[in-house]
Chains A and B, each alone.
Chain A
Amino acid sequence: MSFERRTVLRDSLSVAIPVGSYGAAFGAAAVAGGFSVLQACALSLLLFSGASQFAVVGVMAGGGTPFSAIATGALLGIRNGLYGMRMAPILKLAGLRRFLGAQITIDESTGVALSQESRGDDAMRYGFFATGIGVFIFWNLFTFIGALGANSIGDPSSWGLDAAVPAAFLGLVWPRLVNRKARIAALLSALLAITITPFLGAGLPIIATVLIALVIGWKSE
């Protein structure tokens, strides 16, 4: 190994542990939204992408159809595919390793891997797997704990869980509001979704906001 393994591992864990512990919020939100503990855990194991998971739960909890939930989750999952394209030439995965590596291709594993670029390809690969596997373990463990916890407390409003879910979405979008155009897109889509929800029901209004992304992304420089 030509790179400092411990430094990369430290970077990986400093991302994996806090992000993973946030799985407790997802587990609690899922159960508060009517999902069973088993379904919450299935989402973390099988879907394993925070924003998509929260979206599936959010749309179903709001009374949306499974179609709307799946579509919203999928739209948020597109970026994982783009991360895969970026990582494929570095990871050079084949066979079973490729199928496993794909599942842990998320914001955090890709982010840590790209941050190791100056240390070389070996360090990037190590960072990718250490972070991806670390988040996977902690995220699933904490999902289970959060789901069990919420399962035992009854009324979600009584514990503020009904506000914790939109707060979680706000926390996910906040770091992306880096310029004026992003903030305008955020404000417009919030307004559009609220305005048309009484007419279209839950779910579809959220997907409709993709139009705003298309318009702003298409023409803007």
Chain B
Amino acid sequence: MNDLWIATLGASAICYLLKILGYSLPESTLNNPRIQRVNTFIPIVLLSALVAVQTLTIESKVIVDHRLIGVLVAAIALKMRVSFPVMMVSAALSSAMVYHFV
């Protein structure tokens, strides 16, 4: 089994476990405000880190290239409140244009 399958099946198993765990624990576990606050920040920090790493690194090296233009265009699109598919397509198109023509 290669690494991609280990990641695919391992993450699937653990994420399912987390889902089913929710139905087995009492709701009072939720009532701790600290846990709730930390949990609202977890997606924010992980997703932001992923944006940065996916935009600016290749194989652990910091590299600025066409991807940055695509992500900046995505940010503008999100600011303009366009729909998700439009945002994705604008990001891909602008990045591809810089890749080919600059």
Contact = CB atoms under 8 A, between A and B. Distances in A.
B16 to A, nearest CB: 7
A99 B20 contact: yes
Interface stretch (A1-9, A121-129, A211-219): A211-219
Interface in A59-75: 59-63, 65-66, 69-70, 72-75
Interface string B8-40: 111111111011111101110110001001111
A85 B23 CA distance: 6
B contact residues, range: 35 or more
B42 interface: yes
A218 to B, nearest CB: 6
Nearest to B49: A193
Nearest to A33: B4
A51 to B, nearest CB: 6
B27 A85 contact: yes
B62 interface: yes
Is the interface on chain A under 10, 10 to 19, 20 to 34, or 35 or more residues? 35 or more
B7 A70 contact: yes
The DSSP consensus for interface residues of chain A is helix
B57 A202 contact: yes
B21 A84 contact: yes
Given A165-B54, A186-B44, A217-B37, A80 B15 contact: yes
A163 B87 contact: no
B23 A101 contact: yes
A191 B38 CA distance: 19
B81 to A, nearest CB: 10
A169 B57 contact: no
Given A69-B11, A70-B11, A63 B18 contact: no
Contacts of A36: 4
Given A43-B8, A47-B12, A47-B15, A194 B22 contact: no
Nearest to A166: B54
Given A46-B9, A173-B48, A176-B44, A86 B27 contact: yes
Interface of A: 18, 21-22, 25, 34-36, 39, 42-43, 46-49, 51-52, 54-56, 58-63, 65-66, 69-70, 72-89, 93, 98-99, 101-103, 105, 157-174, 176-177, 182, 185-194, 197-198, 201-202, 205-207, 209-210, 212-214, 216-218, 220
19 contacts: A49-B15, A58-B53, A81-B19, A81-B21, A81-B25, A84-B19, A85-B23, A102-B19, A102-B20, A160-B93, A169-B48, A170-B75, A172-B43, A176-B44, A194-B62, A202-B60, A212-B41, A213-B42, A217-B38
